[in-house]
Amino acid sequence: MKVRVVAKILEANDRIALENRKLFDRANVFVVNLMSAPGAGKTSLLEKTLAADTGLKIGVIEGDIAGSDDAERIEKLGAPVVQINTGGACHLDANMIYEVLGDLPLETLDLLFIENVGNLVCPAEFKVGEDLKVMLLSITEGHDKPLKYPLMFQESSALILNKTDLAPYTNVDMNKIKRDALSLNPAINIFEVSCRTGEGIGAWTAWLKAKARKG
């Protein structure tokens, strides 16, 4: 019974995700669903990406349970941004996205980031109409994460390992993270970055630009 309710919710969600997809295609905008645990650095990555010389016109939808801190950080960089407050819900769903699309100048954008609620579990289950999913993992979260939270690693086209500048002060085994992520998803693209120092951001934005141009 419980399973049937969940299946129905996902089905309804996927229908709306397809509607979003049509709107994105019509506007010719490439859409990335950005996911991670709380505090892995999603907004910091967006700040670095917006500041990079990609030549892309980028918009952002910020998803949070409460507050508008992230949208304010993005707005400072001059990008079109909308904040969604889920009011308790632990992930964004397709309908939340559908309802704010009118508030963004979609036709003028090349790339739209949808920054999901910080959660390594539920966001991976809900399509929002994206072209691809990208996940961040802060290396301070530890090397056991891929095998403990497999779905997000399986669903993501890219894994960004952030806070690499802290590696010398921890006992994290970065090779184990990479090995386990690749065992779950052999096609995943892995980038090592530090949003604090800027190291590694260039390789990520180059990949992103190639994807968005093809999309």
Compute the least distance from the CB of residue 22 to a second copy, in Å.
24
When asked if residue 88 is in the footprint of a second copy (CB under 8 A), the reply is: yes
When asked if residue 51 is in the footprint of a second copy (CB under 8 A), the reply is: no
Rounded Cα gap, residues 118 and 140, in angstroms: 15
Residue carrying structure tokens 């006992």:
171
When asked if residue 174 is in the footprint of a second copy (CB under 8 A), the reply is: no
Compute the least distance from the CB of residue 126 to a second copy, in Å.
12
When asked if residue 119 is in the footprint of a second copy (CB under 8 A), the reply is: yes
Number of residues counted as binding a second copy (CB under 8 A): 37
Among 14, 99, 103, 144, binds a second copy (CB under 8 A): 144
Residue carrying structure tokens 């707005």:
75
When asked if residue 10 is in the footprint of a second copy (CB under 8 A), the reply is: no
Among 18, 90, 203, 210, binds a second copy (CB under 8 A): 90
Q: Which residues contact 12 (CB under 8 A, 6 or more apart)?
A: none
When asked if residue 38 is in the footprint of a second copy (CB under 8 A), the reply is: yes
Q: Which span (32-40, 45-53, 102-110, 202-210) binds a second copy, by CB under 8 A?
A: 32-40
When asked if residue 178 is in the footprint of a second copy (CB under 8 A), the reply is: no
Rounded Cα gap, residues 118 and 64, in angstroms: 8
Smaller CB separation from a second copy, 110 or 141:
141
Alpha-carbon separation of residue 36 from 50, 79, 151 (angstroms):
19, 22, 12
Which H helix or E strand runs over 34? strand 30-35
When asked if residue 64 is in the footprint of a second copy (CB under 8 A), the reply is: yes
DSSP 3-state helix, strand, coil percentages of the chain (rounded to 5)?
50, 20, 35
Secondary structure tally for the chain: helices H, strands E: 8, 7
Rounded Cα gap, residues 155 and 135, in angstroms: 9
When asked if residue 7 is in the footprint of a second copy (CB under 8 A), the reply is: no
And the tokens for 201?
A: 């951001």
When asked if residue 145 is in the footprint of a second copy (CB under 8 A), the reply is: yes
Q: Closest by alpha carbon to 47, among 198, 150, 203?
A: 198
When asked if residue 120 is in the footprint of a second copy (CB under 8 A), the reply is: yes
Residues that bind a second copy (CB under 8 A): 2, 5, 9, 37-39, 64-67, 69, 88, 90, 117-122, 138, 140-142, 144-145, 147-151, 163, 165-166, 169-171, 196
